Amino acid sequence: MTEITYTTDIRTVDWDQMKSTLANDEFDNGRSAEQLRRSFENSQRCCIALAEGRIIGTVRALSDGVCNAYVVDVWTHSFFRRRGIGSRMVEILVDSFPGQHVHLFSDVPEFYESMGFERHDVSLSKTSGTWLQNDTLAL
């Protein structure tokens, strides 16, 4: 069985490899490798799962550092699913936000309910402008 390792250090991530792996596993929302890098670097926390040095899972969270955190980009490569990898990555992130309400959006709520998340009936979203057309934003 392949050993799975987890890291919260994204300094050595090969962003082109991540982009390619996500696209090949049909979990690509259109971000370029550079946009993936910016997304992860601008997150409060990240966790990457690796098998033999290759990225096989991701999760990241945005947080105000006080009371609210939002988990996004939860992905486990389809070959490695149902081995507890996604659960472990989410657990690593959630545990790093003590005292905060941790929220996420998902089309598989049962998975997260099994980890103690509670289902809420209302969720709203809106895209500002055109999806992923934001490279000139100054923060």
- Which of 18-22, 108-112, 116-120 reaches the highest mean pLDDT? 18-22
Structure tokens at 15: 């962003």
| pLDDT at residue 84 is higher than 80 | yes
| Selection from 61, 71, 73 nearest residue 25 by Cα | 73
Spatial separation of the C-alpha atoms in residues 19 and 27, rounded to whole Å: 9
CB proximity list for 52: less than 8 A, separation 6 or greater: 2, 3
Confidence category of residue 55, pLDDT binned at 50, 70, 90: very high
Whole-model pTM: value is 0.84
H or E element in which residue 41 lies: helix 33-41
| pLDDT at residue 76 is higher than 90 | yes
Q: Assess contact for 53 and 7: CB atoms under 8 A.
A: no
Structure tokens at 136: 């000139």
Q: Where are the alpha helices (DSSP H) in the chain?
A: 15-24, 33-41, 85-95, 109-113
Quote the CATH superfamily of domain 4-113.
Gcn5-related N-acetyltransferase (GNAT) (3.40.630.30)
CA–centroid distance for 82 within its chain: 17
Range scoring the smallest mean pLDDT among 65-74, 90-99, 101-110, 124-133: 124-133
pLDDT at 109: 79
Mean pLDDT of the chain: 88
Mean local confidence (pLDDT), 98-122? 83
Give the amino acid at 99: G
pLDDT at 58: 96
Domain boundaries, the chain: 4-113
